[in-house]
């Protein structure tokens, strides 16, 4: 298998079994008393037991924190901060999907600061309140191929009082080192393989479509989608296919690098729905994406032509891209409607208002009003998809 060791956008080691040297990587990063942050399901697995025992055998003491929800909350972060401080830890190993890695990065940012978590919500220049020297180093080890949180400078955390997801940001929040070990993704169930893979696709597709000028991100987004088009169906059908798992980890990492350019209305809605209904972020993106593309249609035709050509679609235009996307969703057994995952349209007005104020809305190709977000949401509930 191909071996990768890159320093863009941070240091990344991509190799089968690279986590076997985790203790060495910790010491090289200046971590001598790491806190391992993961979710409660992974905490019970052989994978985690092996990582902890391997570090201990290498004389690197590791403690575990796993009180994390699938849509992580401020309370989860505060509990992690307490564990970090009480244990006198000097760094974090973030293991898991986006939820675990987002919590880990937020803990690393806030634990040694003079300001609380919500003071670092991404608005104005809040990030400047932080002392960058007090941000704890993080080694990120994704066990899914979707969120790309391992190469992000932000965490998405739910404010339970306001029932909203908020972006916690600092330019130095990005992990110091990322380990992409495809072995850790082999046991990911098909439905999570599909949802997380579609999450990665939504990152690249929305990044390509956004109005922000960033040609480098556009190029990365296109190549990420090409890889996903080839390997996501294989990883879904053949979970033990190590090469497909490896390629999907690379694609997810690339997609998250691309969306530093911004995302759009799909994420504005999925953040809102995740906070209210506690549904899987990747699955929400997978369901919502065609409805948002339809609403954006008149403003993204040129980019859809470019994407269609890059994916070698027979007729490279908006309709061909939409047909490909819908076919891929069917192949992965992604539901066509939000109603299929028990979301109705009763809260449409409220959801439209929250989505319109979500930070991701700012980089959508066009500005949607709260009423337009409510309409897109209602269409996704009912399955009304018109793009002729």
Segments forming the whole domain that contains residue 117: 4-184
Res 2: pLDDT = 74
DSSP 102-159: HHHHHHHHHTTSSS-GGGGBSSTTGGGGS-GGGSPPEEEEESSSS--GGG-SEEEEEE
Check whether residue 198 and residue 339 sit in a common domain. yes
Listed as ranges, residues in the chain with pLDDT below 50 are: none
Q: Cα(215)–Cα(33) distance, rounded to whole angstroms?
A: 41
- Residue 121 belongs to domain with CATH number: 3.40.50.1970
CATH number for position 305: 1.20.1090.10
Domain-terminating residue out of 125, 154, 184 = 184
Q: Do both 213 and 165 map to the same domain?
A: no
Residue 77 lies in a domain: yes
- Counted domains in the chain: 2
Contact present, 195 and 283 (Cβ < 8 Å): yes
177 lies in the same domain as 294:
no
Own/partner contacts of 283-286, CB < 8 Å, gap of 24 or more, are 283/195, 283/198, 283/334, 283/335, 283/341, 284/338, 285/198, 285/199, 285/202, 286/194, 286/195, 286/198, 286/199, 286/201, 286/202, 286/329, 286/332, 286/334
| 254 within a domain of the structure (yes/no) | yes
Query: Residue 104 domain-assigned?
Result: yes
Q: Tokens standing for 144?
A: 């899914």
Residues 180 and 237 in one domain: no
Same domain, residue pair 165 and 199: no
Cα 120 from Cα 154, distance rounded (Å): 10
- Same structural domain for residues 120 and 43? yes
Q: Are residues 209 and 301 in the same domain?
A: yes
- The Cα–Cα gap between 222 and 10 comes to 20
Residue 388 within a domain: no
Which pTM value belongs to this model? Answer: 0.95
Q: Do 260 and 349 have their domain in common?
A: yes
Q: Smallest Cα–Cα separation from 168: which of 106, 124, 256?
A: 106
Q: Do the domain assignments include residue 147?
A: yes
| Tokens (6 digits) for 216 | 């480098």
26 lies in some domain: yes
Give the span between the Cα atoms of 152 and 170, in whole angstroms. 10
Same domain, 202 and 164: no
Residues 15 and 99 in one domain: yes
φ/ψ of 197, rounded to 5, equals -65, -40
Q: Is residue 149 part of a domain?
A: yes
Same domain? 81 vs 205: no
Residue at which a domain ends, from 157, 184, 211: 184
Q: Are residue 177 and residue 229 in the same domain, yes or no?
A: no
- Which residues, listed in sequence order, are joined to residue 5 by a DSSP beta bridge? 13
Per-position DSSP letters for 362-382, written without gaps between them: GGSSSPPPHHHHHHHHHHHHH
* Per-residue pLDDT tens digits for 272-299: 999 999 999 999 999 999 999 999 999 9
Identify whether 387 is part of a domain: no
How far apart are alpha carbons 250 and 300 in whole angstroms? 26
d(CA 93, CA 180): 13
Domain final residue, candidates 164, 184, 204:
184
The predicted-structure confidence for 346-372, as pLDDT tens digits, reads as follows 999 999 999 999 999 999 999 999 999
Q: How far apart are CA 11 and CA 220, in angstroms?
A: 17
Predicted local distance difference test score (pLDDT) of residue 388 = 64
Q: Do the beta carbons of residue 137 and residue 93 sit within 8 Å?
A: no
């Amino acid at each position: 298998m191909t071996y990768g060791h890159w320093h863009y956008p941070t240091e990344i080691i991509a190799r089968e079994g690279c986590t076997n040297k985790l203790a060495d990587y910790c010491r090289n990063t200046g971590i001598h008393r790491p806190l391992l942050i993961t979710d409660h399901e992974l905490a019970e697995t052989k994978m985690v037991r092996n990582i902890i025992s391997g570090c201990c055998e290498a004389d690197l003491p590791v403690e575990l924190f796993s009180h994390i929800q699938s849509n992580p909350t401020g309370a989860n972060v505060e509990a992690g901060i307490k564990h970090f401080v009480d244990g006198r830890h000097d760094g974090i190993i973030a293991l898991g999907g986006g939820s675990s890695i987002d919590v880990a990065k937020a803990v690393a940012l806030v634990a040694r600061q003079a300001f609380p978590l919500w003071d670092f919500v991404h608005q104005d220049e809040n990030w400047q309140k932080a002392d960058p020297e007090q941000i704890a180093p993080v080694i990120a080890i994704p066990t899914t191929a979707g969120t790309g949180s391992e190469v992000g400078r932000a965490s998405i955390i739910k404010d339970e009082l306001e029932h909203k997801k908020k972006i916690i940001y600092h330019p130095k929040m990005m992990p110091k080192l990322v380990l992409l070990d495809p072995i850790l993704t082999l046991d990911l169930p098909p439905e999570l393989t599909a949802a997380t893979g579609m999450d990665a696709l939504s990152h690249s597709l929305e990044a390509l479509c956004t109005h922000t000028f960033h040609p480098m991100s556009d190029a990365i987004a296109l190549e990420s989608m090409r890889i996903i088009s080839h390997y996501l169906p294989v990883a879904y059908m053949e979970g033990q296919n190590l090469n497909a798992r490896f390629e999907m980890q690379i694609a997810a990492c690339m997609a998250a690098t691309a969306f530093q350019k911004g995302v759009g209305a799909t994420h504005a809605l999925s953040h809102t729905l995740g906070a209210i209904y506690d549904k899987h972020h990747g699955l929400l993106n997978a369901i919502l994406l065609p409805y948002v593309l339809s609403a954006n249609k008149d403003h993204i035709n040129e980019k859809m032509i470019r994407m269609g050509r890059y994916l070698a679609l027979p007729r490279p235009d908006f309709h061909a891209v939409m047909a490909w996307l819908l076919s891929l969703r069917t192949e992965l057994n992604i539901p066509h409607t939000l109603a299929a995952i028990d979301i109705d349209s009763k809260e449409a007005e409220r959801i439209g208002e929250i989505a319109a104020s979500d930070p991701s809305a700012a980089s959508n190709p066009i500005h949607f009003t709260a009423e337009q977000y409510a309409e897109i949401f209602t269409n996704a509930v009912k399955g009304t998809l018109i793009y002729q």
